[in-house]
Structure 1
């Protein structure tokens, strides 16, 4: 291992597009259907929630792309917030991303990967932790070879993961089963008000759509970030939304909503119904490859956030976080991410972890949407190769949608929201300690 070197510019448009789609299309599309249908108890309302989630994400992507193109720096969102609101908010977002968000995402993907492997081959459930550990470890080792190796894995898994998606969509849509379509849940469902149902459903879809923002973390390693980055984000999200709607249509036509609600094996059960036992197993293997690719996306982007923070000397042991491998990968940052993720794996609770992550990350997403409007006034002469269309309508839609999700979560899942806030605030004393230390040696 060598000391700090410059990160290599080796990523083009397709690897960036693959990173957006590959990171987004992971476990969410297959395993959040159970949470969404359990909440909505309605076929039509399920589709409405997925559509609203897609619109929110597209508006968010189109908005954040302006910053990604204007400020193409490694670190992504942390750099946008630092430039707009000051280094405190840049640090806090980086803290939440580096030591909560990315490790927990890797942990969630590893848990689901391991669970599916055990169910597929009828292995001992006691192997859950070892398999999860090994899956995350192999992804980490591949990324030590540099961003080109990680990008290549992302491109390959994107192509492979589309196979089960396409097959489920094509054969699922050919089913002749009729479904009852209504935009509203049964009045006697007892599942709460329409707004709370939509809010809770959106919380689940936001995890399935998440991952698009963090391609900005590798802007410093892209060949042409000002052109390729906003295009990769906007095109990628649009394609993901289309895929999600078609997949859900296939699920609904294959299994009744009662068989989907609360069923974490809904995707595997759908595959078995469509393709039989052996065919279903092959499809499940494709789904596992999808999850593995998502784990790679979160590892690849996540390990670069502490690196960017360490450049500002805002982390304990910053010199260690700045160390890169011979191929230019920030290996120490990746090692810390892996260790934290494995601690989280031992804690389990897939749904709780993912819902908390969505709450924490959307707080900073909302700040990013606001940053676009603030910088328009604060730095009108900033070079903006890409400008969000229909300004300020789209940024406002993104911001208000995000605030709705945050507010609904705070009122309906208060304990979960407070835990997320509490863990994020743990970074505050570290910020002031490092700030004081840096001023002392300035």
Structure 2
């Protein structure tokens, strides 16, 4: 406990510069990525109706807010490097922290990178008319190029991230404004609520998995707690305000889509944003918007590559991965974890050849929600195990908010097991392979 307080004192006293408005901006920046441009296809395909699809976006936002408010208590109380890995170790033991790192190394980040590279390649082909047979090749070249850029140092990756963050707002704003004003379909395209030929419960569950990929990033919102001027007061406002604004943007752009195209057309295309852009801006205007979307996806892919390299490197420095001596080496000049990045890119390429965008993103959401639920529940555990732990912020409406996050997460897991048993099975097998790996590397 003294160690925790010392860590809090050391880390939180370094920077107390973030106020409410910058915190809200950070939340928005961490969440909005590529899903808003592409996941409408999967959502309206799963629900079969525009109304239920919009409800899925709303529920995804509510679940993200509940999750963000819950995890923020852990972030504020345990402001240590490692985030969720540290929370799981505190609540359940070191093996669960390792298992999360293992999942991030072999499933979450490589599959996310593969999915983003595939959708980037799809957009390139859609924009240029290149043969569809080039999809995997373009995806691999893009991922390898960004890996090489990030090997040059974090400044290069950060520059790419800054430019892409600005650019991603342009197509969002343009499609929302022009789509709502010029969209010929009008409000008639927002109905019906449910389709007679689609099961409501499982369809909504599958759609919710898709929305959670678009909202993914909320798990990181609590990391800013240690740098906030008044986390107890401003952190919940930043989470609720930031994620509410994200939800509003997601709702508005999907309504704009529906003002232009019916949900059946959106369900039939893998590039809904680009298709809508072509209709409302014309061929040339649509290409400009598509370029903006490409830059946004490029930036999201870059951010994941920048992050993914650090996970196996951290595990390797602790000697918990096979080949740790090699994986823990830094580049002699750039001081970046190149070897760990090579591992991640190789696994990502395997996923590129073995999966599709929606299949891969559903896999990542399924496996990561196993650990999200454990993280939500750890709030209950740590309040009992460490009642005297200094908590500058506590989740409001406890235990209701954490319970909402847990129930929503369980709904996603159970629905995936029922509707996508093969995908869920692959996720579970790959996850629990980590157990014998951990035992083999920790024979002491």
TM-score category of the 2 structures, normalised to the smaller one: 0.7 to 0.9
Given the superposition, is the C-alpha separation of residues 30 and 294 from structure 1 closer, same or farther in structure 2, using an over 3 Å criterion?
Answer: same
* Conserved? CA contact 2:186–2:260, under 8 Å: no
* Kept in 2: contact 1:254–1:270 (CA 8 A): yes
Match of 1:5 in 2: none
Deviations 1:69-96 (A, max 9, x none): 3223332211211111011111111111
Q: Does 1:354 align with 2:361?
A: yes
- In 2, distance between residues paired with 1:304 and 1:293? 18
Q: Does 1:83 find its partner at 2:90?
A: yes
Q: TM-score, normalised by structure 1?
A: 0.88
Out of 95, 98, 117, the position equivalent to 1:110 is 117
| Distance in 1 separating the partners of 2:97 and 2:54 | 36
Please provide the CA RMSD for this pair: 2.8
Paired with 2:28 and 2:144, the residues of 1 have a C-alpha distance of 22
Q: Find 2:46's aligned residue among 39, 45, 50.
A: 39
Shift of 1:422: 0.9
| 8 Å Cα contact 1:76-1:215 kept in structure 2 | no
CA-CA distance at 1:430 after TM superposition: 0.4
Give the 3 Å change call, closer, same or farther, for CA 291–212 of structure 1 in structure 2. same
- The residue that corresponds to 2:165 in the other structure is 158
Determine the C-alpha separation between the residues in 2 that align with 1:274 and 1:265. 15
Q: Shift of residue 381 of structure 1? A: 2.1
- Report Cα offsets for 1:139-166 as digits up to 9, x if no partner: 2223224444433322221111100000
Q: Does structure 1 residue 98 correspond to structure 2 residue 105? A: yes
**Is 2:181 aligned against 1:178?**
no
Q: Normalization by structure 2: what TM-score?
A: 0.87
1:358-437 equivalent positions in 2, closer than 5 A:
358-436=365-443
CA distance in 1, matches of 2:432, 2:252: 39
Q: Which residue of 2 aligns with 1:256?
A: 262
Secondary structure of the structure 2 residue equivalent to 1:261? helix
Residues 258-317 of structure 1: per-residue CA shift (max 9 Å, x gap): 211131122111000110000000000101111111112212222222233223321122
> Aligned pair in 2 of structure 1 residues 21, 98: CA closer, same or farther (>3 Å)?
farther
Pick aligned residue for 2:329 from 320, 323, 328: 323
Could you say if the C-alpha distance between residues 396 and 81 of structure 1 is closer, same or farther in structure 2, counting changes exceeding 3 Å? same
Is there any run of 5+ residues in structure 2 with no aligned partner, and where?
1-13
Whole-angstrom CA distance in 1 between matches of 2:172 and 2:250: 9
Distance in 2, matches of 1:378 and 1:162, equals 44
Q: 1:135 Cα shift?
A: 1.4
Please name the residue that 1:3 is paired with.
none
CA distance in 1, matches of 2:53, 2:415: 18
1:298 to 294, 304, 322: 304
Structure 1 pair 139/80, CA: closer, same or farther in 2 (3 Å)? same
Determine if contact 2:105/2:308 at 8 Å carries over to the other structure: yes
Q: Quote the offset at 1:252 in angstroms.
A: 0.6
For 2:221 and 2:162, the matched residues in 1 are separated by: 14
Residue 279 of structure 1 aligns with which residue? 285
Answer yes or no: is 1:49 the counterpart of 2:69.
no
Indicate yes or no: 2:205 matched with 1:199: yes
2: CA distance, partners of 1:157 / 1:20: 16
Cα pair distance change 1:384/1:183, threshold 3 Å: farther
CA drift at 1:30? 1.5
Flag the 1:102–1:20 CA change in 2: closer, same or farther, 3 A.
farther
Alpha-carbon distance, 1:191 to partner: 1.3
